Amino acid sequence: MSDTDTTEVKAEETKEVEAPKCPMGVKIEAYRLNDKGWGIEPASSTRDWMAATHGHSQKCLPLLAANQMGYVMRNPTEVTAIWNGGDSLHDTKIIHEDEEYAPTSSSHFGYGIVTFQIPFIFRTPPGIGLLVRGATNFWVENACPLDGFVETHWSPYSFTMNWRIVKPDVPVIWKKGDPVCMVIPYPVELLENIVPVAKPIETNEELQLIYQGWSDTRDRFNGTPHTNKDWQKDYFKGKKCPFAHGKENIAEPHRTKFKLPPFKFE
């Protein structure tokens, strides 16, 4: 028997299913352990590499939005890791610029994995967990962040952030202040209450008409010379139809930035 469910979902069935709404004012607590030198703060919209794009990356609203959707924790000291390609713990050498912070990162699992000890125990309300990952659209050379999900509504345990070194014998450097971990609050029940339906675009004549018109103008725009200042801005402005005008044509709500509240330290 196949593990894949091929049951077709009929369109009329989707009307009866409503995903649970996320409560407003969700309280997230970060119980501090040995957090000296660490920082936890709302993620910013920019990344260092974006400056080299001469403003192009700042025009991509989905990129800017994703950059801000969580809290980052910053490395208290520069860490250098060298992996010789072996599987044991000792095959990865970790060097800390400031040895006071040596316990904050180590070769805990082997296999070229560098583990950062996150100095907080997070607690969230029922239904909310934390997606634990590398900071969105941030990387270090020769290492890949490993994502995880933690049920913080009940867990009394701390967790780690892990990075896998890609190539042996090539040093990996996390600078002091690098965002080595990002946590994103997430309503876990949302995933299991989605009703996914894929259908031909011809079934939505209005959408097809708008999309085709936009696609044609986009092709013409991309096919002609233009400067960095030229910018269509349809999505950035929240225009539901690129050919219409007025307030009624602006999506509501439409965000161009996220304003995450900072943690209050006690």
pLDDT at 137 over 90: yes
Contacts of 179 (CB under 8 A, 6+ apart): 43, 72, 73, 74, 75, 134, 135, 138
- As given in the structure block, the two tokens for residue 110 are 């082997």
Residue 24 has a pLDDT of 65
| Amino acid letter, 97 | E
What's the average model confidence in pLDDT over 34-57?
92
Inform me whether the pLDDT recorded for 257 exceeds 50: yes
Q: How much is the pLDDT for 261?
A: 94
Domain chopping of the chain, boundaries: 23-192, 201-249
Mean pLDDT of 111-130: 97
Q: Is the peptide bond before 253 cis (omega within 30 degrees of 0)?
A: yes
pLDDT tens sequence across 49-106: 998 998 889 899 999 999 999 999 999 999 999 999 999 999 999 999 999 999 999 9
**pLDDT of 224:** 84
* Across 47-56, 113-122, 177-186, 224-233, least confident range: 224-233
Tokens for 152? 């913080």
pLDDT attached to residue 33: 96
* pLDDT score recorded for residue 202: 97
Predicted pLDDT of residue 2: 33
Q: 208 falls in which pLDDT band (50, 70, 90)?
A: very high
How high is the pLDDT of residue 228? Answer: 66
Question: For residues 130 and 186, is the Cβ–Cβ distance under 8 A?
Answer: yes
Say how far apart CA 188 and CA 3 lie, in whole Å: 22
pLDDT of residue 242: 87
The average confidence (pLDDT) of the chain is 89
- Residue 89 DSSP code: G
Indicate the DSSP class of residue 116: E
Residue scoring higher pLDDT (83 or 236): 83
**CB contact at 8 A, 41 and 262:** yes
Query: What mean pLDDT comes out for the span 116-136?
Result: 97
| CATH 2.70.40.10 corresponds to the domain 23-192 | yes
